[in-house]
Amino acid sequence: MEINLPDISPEVQQAKMRFGIVGNAPALLAAVSRAIQVAPIDLSVLITGESGTGKEFFPKIIHNFSSRKHNRYIAVNCGAIPEGTIDSELFGHEKGAFTGAVSSRKGYFEEADGGTIFLDEVAELPLTTQARLLRVLETGEFIKVGSSTVQKTNIRIVAATNVDMLKAIEEGRFREDLFYRLSTVQISIPPLRERGNDILLLSRKFASDFAERYRMPPISFSDEARQALLHYRWPGNVRQLKNVIEQVALFDAGREVTSTDISRNMPNHPNVYTPTISTERNHDYSRERELLFNMMFRMQSEIDNLRATVERLSTAQPLMPPQPEMPQTLVKYTPLPKSPFTEATTIEPEQPQVRHGASSSAMTLEDTEKETIRRSLENNGGRRKATARELNISERTLYRKIKEYGLE
Ligand SMILES: Nc1ncnc2c1ncn2[C@@H]1O[C@H](COP(=O)(O)OP(=O)(O)O)[C@@H](O)[C@H]1O
Ligand SMILES: [Mg+2]
């Protein structure tokens, strides 16, 4: 049960409920409160924080608590758009602007006029796009690719990053003037390891969500499991916690989960535990052994499952006849709502957020193979010999696959 602390303002409580944000850590509540305060003032906001801390809630809060809430909200993942197409995605292009520009196209800055654009992973923007962005922020003006007509737009920008922007500026990868323009207000999201008891609130929430989703009996946590959760460093923050809980909710359904069950799902970096735990655990070889055995069993069954899936997929009839390969241009310039790089949402009250993303599409055989190899490499600490042995393929094949899938 989450307890409503008396000092949480009604707006913060409302935002938490609305977007499903779990936690009462003062630094988290302060960040939510800051987003609500700045929402009605039309300033650019930069959200900073490690990967997986929940940065994506904040532009939505800002949009939703602003007078722009009835206009469009478009989220753009700057890191996912190829450099050659990003200007056209953001600012649109004229017919004939480049080979393959068969018709003119509106960019997000035109589509979202009057609304909010969330630029996620903003540090990944190419320098040329940074120049265009600076102009639109300073004057509200932009020019479509291949056009000479200046257009006006009224957009509020919220950007997010997990990189050290000052370092990016020093290294010449990010314009200093744009940085100051974007970061009029900064909101920093605390890492999970600094949120204390929130880790347990989140664990319980995810455990019950996954039990429901997979229709499995719920798990509970032993005391030592709770200690392990509390003392882990969580380099991948809430995203990683969610992932770990999903694994145990699936594989240990209906059980009281132990710390071994938890650690089984953590990458085995030597520095993952804070000192208190690691010194305690250092000399406990029996537990290490148990953990290793568990890991091996788990991996074996995962491999068996994947092998079965691969076999099933490779014998299954395709549902549709294979499509002829589409010309590049048609693939790249899909109409706005279908772009894999953005999410255009009109946030309506009481309406749960449905998130569409490239990741929601079904896995292909190649994805499955790549994922199997990636996980096996991870489980084997990157050691190729052990990975090849585990996957029952030659080291040479493994080298080739690693190269092919860019898993270096
Ligand atoms: N406080 C929180 N309460 C509930 N879920 C959270 C919280 N913070 C993050 N999450 C979940 O963790 C995952 C990662 O969050 P995301 O916003 O994508 O992280 P970031 O953009 O900072 O890398 C998402 O599934 C998100 O819903
Ligand atoms: Mg993100």
Query: pLDDT tens digits for 211-257?
Result: 999 999 999 999 999 999 999 999 999 999 999 999 999 999 999 99
Residue 140 and residue 36 share a domain = yes
Containing structural domain, residue 213: 193-282
Query: Of all residues in the chain, what percent carry a pLDDT higher than 70?
Result: 78
| Position 313 in a domain | no
Residues 90 and 206 in one domain: no
237 in the same domain as 124:
no
Work out the average pLDDT over 142-168.
96
The percent helix, strand, coil of the chain (3-state, each to 5) is 50, 10, 40
- Determine the distance separating the centroid of ligand 1 and the alpha carbon of 16, expressed in angstroms: 12
161 within a domain of the structure (yes/no)? yes
The pocket around ligand 1, CB under 6 angstroms, is made up of 20-23, 49, 51-57, 202, 238-239, 242
- Pick the closest to residue 376 from 385, 100, 329 (CA basis): 385
Domain of 395, CATH number, reads 1.10.10
Q: Are residues 133 and 273 in the same domain?
A: no
Q: Whose CA is nearest to atom 10 of ligand 1?
A: 54
Indicate whether 275 belongs to any domain.
yes
Please report whether residue 238 resides in a domain.
yes
Beta pairing partners, 47: 160, 187
Q: Can you tell me which atom of ligand 1 is nearest the CA of 50?
A: 22
Mean pLDDT of 299-326: 64
How many structural domains are present in the chain? 3
Distance CA 297, CA 306 (A): 14
Same domain? For 15 and 162 the reply is yes
Domain edge (last residue) among 152, 169, 190: 190
Confirm if 275 and 238 have CB atoms less than 8 A apart: no
Give the residue from 141, 170, 190 where a domain finishes: 190
Residues 146 and 259 in one domain: no
Residue 292 lies inside a defined structural domain of this protein: no
Query: What is the residue type of 244?
Result: V
- pLDDT-based confidence at 336, cuts 50/70/90? very low
* pTM over 0.75, yes/no: no
Mind listing the pLDDT tens digit for each residue in 358-380?
A: 333 345 667 777 888 888 888 88
Domain match, 197 and 179 both: no
Among all bound ligands, the one having the nearest atom to the CA of 51 is 1
CA atoms within 13 A on the CB side of 134: 15
- Distance between Cα 270 and ligand 2 center (Å): 26
pLDDT averaged over the chain? 83
Question: Of 266, 282, 298, which residue constitutes the final position of a domain?
Answer: 282
Tell me if 296 is assigned to some domain.
no
